[in-house]
Amino acid sequence: MKKKILIIGGGAREYALGRKLREDPRVGELFFSPGNGGTQSIGENVLLQDFTQIAAFAKEKMINFVLIGPEEPLVGGLTDFLQEAGVAVFGPSQKASMLEGSKSFTKELATAHKIPTAPYAIATNLEQALKLVPNFGYPVVLKADGLAQGKGVVVVHTENEAKIALENLFKAHSKVVLEKFLDGFELSMFAFVSGQNFLLLPACHDYKKLHPNGPNTGGMGAFAPSHLCDHTLREKIVERIFKPTLKAMREKDTPFVGVLYTGLVVVEQEGQFEPYLLEFNVRFGDPECSVLLPLLKTPLLDLLEATMQGNLAQVELELHPQHALGVVLACKDYPHQISQGQSVYIDPIDEKNAHLDLGRITQENGVFLVAGGRVCVCVGWGKSLAEAKSHAYHLVKKVQFDGMQFREDIGVL
């Protein structure tokens, strides 16, 4: 009997997950809620309005498991709700999702368990925050405590910048974390996690800014594996960050089950590279998912099921010996506001080493239309990073829509 899977979400991440699962002959029907203009070509889009409808649909269609893509339903407790309804689900519990849902929770956990992270303070109002800023020296990192679609982190260099940024952050959030700026390079590490067991994926380098000096976004591109992460650094990340975090969550009686993303900054100290925790996400990253999945030789279905069933120790993670790179194509006014409705023209794609992961896009009468911020990811792969980059940017030239924005330096450090 072929597997039936429901994927929650409608971005390029969910399209990438569906595409990878569609390659597996053991997978039958794929459903997406809400999905997008691309997912309807690899499965069926269904509009499920709330947790109750998701559970009812999963039971009616005899879904084998629900795969939750975005952070909002995880932090909102969808995993717990489905489990209580007797529906198998991939994704951490609401309590475990606090690792992403609250920056202050994560900072306090790191401090309590001696996980290396930047010095910080937590402010609950503007006046308090403004008094704390000078303690850190400039630049200072300001972080919204709750979810902010990847746009809740601001690095400020002056008192005036800090005041403007804090005013904006407190309009939407009741807490702000102030953090000492650490000068180094950033890495993203993803792992399939089931309690204390985990399988670590290759280190990924992502580009959060709209352009090198621009505002933060949800992510404008990525590549993997990162040559900046050697065996020694990888072991430090495992021993100093992953293992103590998972141990701490178990001790809190909130064991983590799902995909854990660790955002890191690596600082050179006395000739050694030392990792510091920046943040956790509790799901696949977007666009990192698009460059990690092409590296998987072990079937994604096996990894998902072993994670849910607690059998990760019995799965061997095999990877293709290649590099992958993704370039995000974003709409005209991203990330400040969403422009939509523009026609998207895609030339015929016959590349063997590249594909499009479709994101905020709709399809009407056979025509693709922009429906949000990050419209798609152009993914290329090859034996080298240069080859992967060449394939990805060749694909960029095949997509056109008014106001299209993308970075030309993905793969350059």
CATH number at residue 243: 3.30.470.20
Same domain, residue pair 335 and 389: yes
Asked which of 130, 156, 180 is the last residue of a domain, the reply is 180
Instruction: Determine contact, residues 147/119, Cβ cutoff 8 Å.
Output: no
* Residue 367: count of CB within 10 angstroms of its CB: 11
* Residue 352: count of CB within 10 angstroms of its CB: 7
Residue 105 lies in a domain: no
Query: Which residues are CB-contacts of 268 (< 8 A; sequence separation ≥ 6)?
Result: 184, 274
Same domain, residue pair 262 and 296: yes
Question: What sections of 133-189 are H helices per DSSP?
Answer: 159-172
Same domain, residue pair 42 and 83: yes
Question: What sections of 113-215 are H helices per DSSP?
Answer: 126-132, 159-172
Instruction: Return the structure tokens found at 110.
Output: 């790191």
Query: Which uninterrupted H or E stretch holds 395?
Result: helix 385-396
DSSP bridge pairs for 198:
193
Query: pLDDT digit of tens for each residue in the chain (413 aa)?
Result: 899 999 999 999 999 999 999 999 999 999 999 999 999 999 999 999 999 999 999 999 999 999 999 999 999 999 999 999 999 999 999 999 999 999 999 999 999 999 999 999 999 988 898 899 899 889 999 998 877 666 678 888 998 888 898 988 888 888 899 999 999 999 999 999 999 899 999 999 999 999 988 888 889 999 999 999 999 999 999 999 999 999 999 999 999 999 999 999 999 998 899 999 999 999 999 999 999 999 999 999 999 999 999 999 999 999 999 999 999 999 999 998 888 899 999 998 888 999 999 999 999 888 999 998 999 999 999 999 999 999 999 999 999 999 999 999 999 97
Residue 92 is predicted with a pLDDT of 97
CATH code of residue 357? 3.90.600.10
Residue 315 is predicted with a pLDDT of 94
Instruction: Return the structure tokens found at 34.
Output: 């809400």
Query: Which residues are CB-contacts of 383 (< 8 A; sequence separation ≥ 6)?
Result: 321, 322, 323
Residue 135 lies in a domain: yes
Same domain, residue pair 169 and 191: no
Residue 409 lies in a domain: no
DSSP bridge pairs for 65:
5
Residue 259 lies in a domain: yes
Residue 110 lies in a domain: no
Instruction: Determine contact, residues 104/178, Cβ cutoff 8 Å.
Output: no
| Burial bucket for residue 305 (CB in 10 Å: 0-12, 13-18, 19+) | middle
Number of alpha carbons in the 13 Å side-chain half-sphere of residue 300: 24
Same domain, residue pair 78 and 167: no
CA angle centred on 145, ends 51 and 405, rounded to 5°: 80
User: What three-state secondary structure class fits 309?
Assistant: helix
CATH code of residue 167? 3.30.1490.20
Which residues form the domain of 129?
119-180
Same domain, residue pair 281 and 217: yes
Asked which of 281, 314, 347 is the last residue of a domain, the reply is 314
Same domain, residue pair 164 and 199: no
Residue 166 lies in a domain: yes
User: What three-state secondary structure class fits 348?
Assistant: coil
The whole-angstrom separation of Cα 124 and Cα 140 is: 17
Residue 200 DSSP label: E
The whole-angstrom separation of Cα 20 and Cα 39 is: 12
Residue 366 is predicted with a pLDDT of 84
Instruction: Return the structure tokens found at 294.
Output: 């092409």
Side chain identity, residue 73: P
| Total domain count, the chain | 4
Same domain, residue pair 280 and 216: yes
Cα–chain-centroid distance for residue 24?
Answer: 23
> What are the two backbone dihedrals, phi and then psi, of residue 165, each rounded to the nearest 5 degrees?
-65, -45
Query: Which uninterrupted H or E stretch holds 330?
Result: strand 323-330
Asked which of 42, 72, 91 is the last residue of a domain, the reply is 91
Same domain, residue pair 168 and 252: no
Same domain, residue pair 300 and 203: yes
Same domain, residue pair 131 and 209: no
Residue 149 is predicted with a pLDDT of 65
Number of alpha carbons in the 13 Å side-chain half-sphere of residue 184: 24
Residue 334 is predicted with a pLDDT of 93
Instruction: Determine contact, residues 171/222, Cβ cutoff 8 Å.
Output: no
Same domain, residue pair 189 and 259: yes
Residue 387 is predicted with a pLDDT of 97
Residue 204 lies in a domain: yes
Q: What is the pTM of this model?
A: 0.95
Residue 102 lies in a domain: no
